[in-house]
Amino acid sequence: MKTIPLAEGIKLKSILTKKVQELVYEFQKNAHVVVEKGETPKQTGRSLKEIEADLAQVRKDIRTLDKLIYRANIENTIEFKGEVMPIVEAIELATQLRAEVSLYKTLGNSEKEKIYTSTGEGVVLYEVAMYDPREYRERANQLEKEAHRLSNLINAKNYEVHIEFDDSNYF
Task: State whether 98 and 147 are in the same domain.
Answer: yes
Q: Among 43-47, 57-61, 102-106, 155-159, where is mean pLDDT lowest?
A: 43-47
Q: Distance between CA 88 and CA 130 in Å, rounded?
A: 36
pLDDT confidence tier of residue 126, bands split at 50, 70 and 90: confident
Task: State whether 60 and 129 are in the same domain.
Answer: no
Domain count for the chain, please give it: 2
Task: State whether 50 and 103 are in the same domain.
Answer: no
Per-residue buried b or exposed e for 94-130, using 16+ beta carbons within 10 Å of the residue's own CB: beebbebbeebbebbeeeeeeeeeeeeeeeeeeeeee
Reported as a single tens digit per residue, the pLDDT across 3-58 is: 999 999 999 999 999 999 999 999 999 999 989 999 999 888 899 999 999 999 99
Greater confidence (121 vs 131) lies with 131
Model pLDDT, residue 27:
96
Domain of residue 125, residue span: 77-161
Helices (H), 76-132: 87-108
In a domain? residue 167: no
The pTM of this model reads 0.84
CA 92 to chain centre: 11
Which whole number is the average pLDDT over 123-138? 92
Rounded to the nearest integer, the mean pLDDT of the chain is 95
In a domain? residue 38: yes
Residues 6+ apart with CB under 8 A from 26: 45, 46, 51
Determine the angle formed by the axes of helices 87-108 and 133-160, rounding to 10 degrees: 160
Task: State whether 62 and 105 are in the same domain.
Answer: no
Which whole number is the average pLDDT over 140-153? 98
Task: State whether 2 and 45 are in the same domain.
Answer: yes
**Cβ–Cβ contacts within 10 Å for residue 90, how many?**
23
Q: How far is CA 75 from CA 78, 86, 92, 105, 150, in A?
A: 10, 6, 15, 34, 18
In a domain? residue 170: no
Reported as a single tens digit per residue, the pLDDT across 56-82 is: 999 999 999 999 999 999 999 999 999
Task: State whether 126 and 67 are in the same domain.
Answer: no
Task: State whether 106 and 146 are in the same domain.
Answer: yes
Residues 6+ apart with CB under 8 A from 130: none
- Partner residues linked to 75 by β-bridges: none
pLDDT confidence tier of residue 118, bands split at 50, 70 and 90: low
